[in-house]
A and B are shown apart, each in its own frame.
Chain A
Amino acid sequence: MLSIKNLHASVEGNEILKGINLEAKAGEVHAIMGPNGSGKSTLAQVLAGHEDYEVTEGSVTYLGKDLLELGADDRACEGIFLAFQYPVEIPGVSTSYFLKAAVNSVRRYRKEEELDAVQFLTLAKEKMKALDMDPSFLHRSVNEGFSGGEKKKNEIFQMAVLDPKLAILDETDSGLDIDALRVVADGVNSLRSPDRTMIVVTHYQRLLDYIVPDFVHVLSEGKIVKSGDKNLAHQLEDEGYSWLRSHAEAR
Chain B
Amino acid sequence: MTTQTKTAAAPPKQDILDQYDAFRAGAASASDWLAPVREDAIARFREQGIPTQKWEDYRFTNLAPIARTKFRHASTYKQPDGIAEIAARMKFAKETAVELVFGNGRLMQTNGGEALPAGVIVMSLAEAMKSHTDLVKQHLAKVAKLDSAPMAALNTAFIEDGLFVYVPKGVHVEKPVHAIFVTDSGDGKAGAADSGAERLVSHPRTLIVLGESAEARVYETFTSRKGDAFWSNPVTEVVVGENARLEHLRFQDESGEAFHTGTIEATQGRSSWFTTYSFAFGCRITRNDVNLALLGEGIESDLDGLYIGADEQLIDHHTFVYHREPNCESREFYKGILGDKATGVFSGKILVHQKAQKTDAKQTNRNLLLSDSANVHTKPQLEIFADDVKCTHGATIGQIDANSLFYLKTRGIDEVTARSLLIYAFAGEVVERVSFPPMRERLQNLLYDRLPNGDELRGLGE
Contact = CB atoms under 8 A, between A and B. Distances in A.
Interface of A: 48-51, 71-73, 75-77, 81-82, 84, 87-88, 90-93, 97-103, 105-106, 109, 117, 141, 158, 162
Contact of A82 (B410, B413, B417, B426): B410
B396 interface: no
B406 interface: yes
A35 B422 CA distance: 35
B460 A100 contact: yes
A65 to B, nearest CB: 16
B429 A102 contact: no
Contacts of B407: 84, 87-88, 90
Given A87-B407, A88-B407, A105 B413 contact: yes
Contact of A106 (B412, B421, B422): B412
Interface of B: 403-404, 406-415, 417-418, 421-422, 424-426, 428-429, 456-457, 460-462
27 contacts: A51-B406, A71-B409, A72-B406, A72-B409, A73-B410, A73-B414, A76-B410, A84-B410, A87-B407, A88-B403, A88-B407, A90-B404, A90-B408, A92-B426, A92-B429, A97-B460, A98-B411, A98-B421, A100-B460, A101-B421, A102-B411, A105-B412, A105-B413, A141-B425, A158-B411, A162-B411, A162-B412
Given A76-B412, A162-B412, A93 B425 contact: yes
A194 to B, nearest CB: 23
Nearest to B429: A92
B376 to A, nearest CB: 20
Contacts of B461: 97
A73 B457 contact: no
A101 B429 contact: no
Q: Which 5 A-B pairs have the closest CB atoms?
A: A92-B425, A76-B412, A102-B411, A72-B409, A88-B407
Nearest to B461: A97
Given A71-B415, A73-B415, A162-B412, A101 B406 contact: no
Contact of A105 (B414, B428, B429, B462): B414
Contacts of B404: 88, 90
Nearest to A78: B412
Given A91-B425, A97-B460, A105 B417 contact: yes
Given A50-B406, A101-B457, A90 B422 contact: yes
Nearest to A89: B404
A81 B407 CA distance: 11
Contacts of B429: 91-92
A76 B457 contact: no
A98 B408 contact: yes
B411 A76 contact: yes
Contacts of B422: 90, 93
A134 to B, nearest CB: 20
B394 to A, nearest CB: 15
A212 B428 CA distance: 44
Contacts of B412: 73, 76-77, 102-103, 105-106, 109, 162
A48 B417 CA distance: 18
A162 B408 CA distance: 13
A4 B457 CA distance: 36
A49 B412 CA distance: 11
